[in-house]
C-alpha cells in the first residue's frame, strides 16, 4: 500500500467518511471538516506507524493530504527515523 493509500485509509476511518472523497489536494481541516484533535490523532498514528517524528512546528505546515504524504516519503527516503 502506498503512503497516500495508507493516509487516505486512516483519515477515512478516523473521520468516518468514504476514502473516495479524499485525494492529495484535499485540505484536511477545510475540506474534510477535521478539527485540531483529529489532526493530532492522525499525526500520532502516523508517527507510530512509520516510526517518524512530526514536530509541532511542522504540523502547522500540514494542510493537505499531499503535504502529509510528501513529508512521510521524504522522511523515509532520508532515513529520518526516530
Catalytic residue list = 35
Strand partners, 27: 64
| Dist. CA 26–CA 77, nearest whole Å | 24
Residue entry with cell 485509509: 9
Amino acid at each position: 500500500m502506498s503512503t497516500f493509500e495508507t493516509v487516505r485509509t486512516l483519515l477515512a476511518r478516523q473521520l468516518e467518511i468514504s476514502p473516495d472523497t479524499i485525494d492529495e489536494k484535499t485540505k484536511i481541516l477545510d475540506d474534510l471538516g477535521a478539527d485540531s484533535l483529529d489532526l493530532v490523532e492522525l499525526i500520532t498514528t502516523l508517527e507510530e506507524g512509520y516510526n517518524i517524528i512530526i514536530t509541532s512546528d511542522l504540523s502547522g505546515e500540514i494542510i493537505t493530504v499531499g503535504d502529509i504524504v510528501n513529508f512521510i516519503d521524504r522522511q523515509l527516503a532520508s532515513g529520518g527515523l526516530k
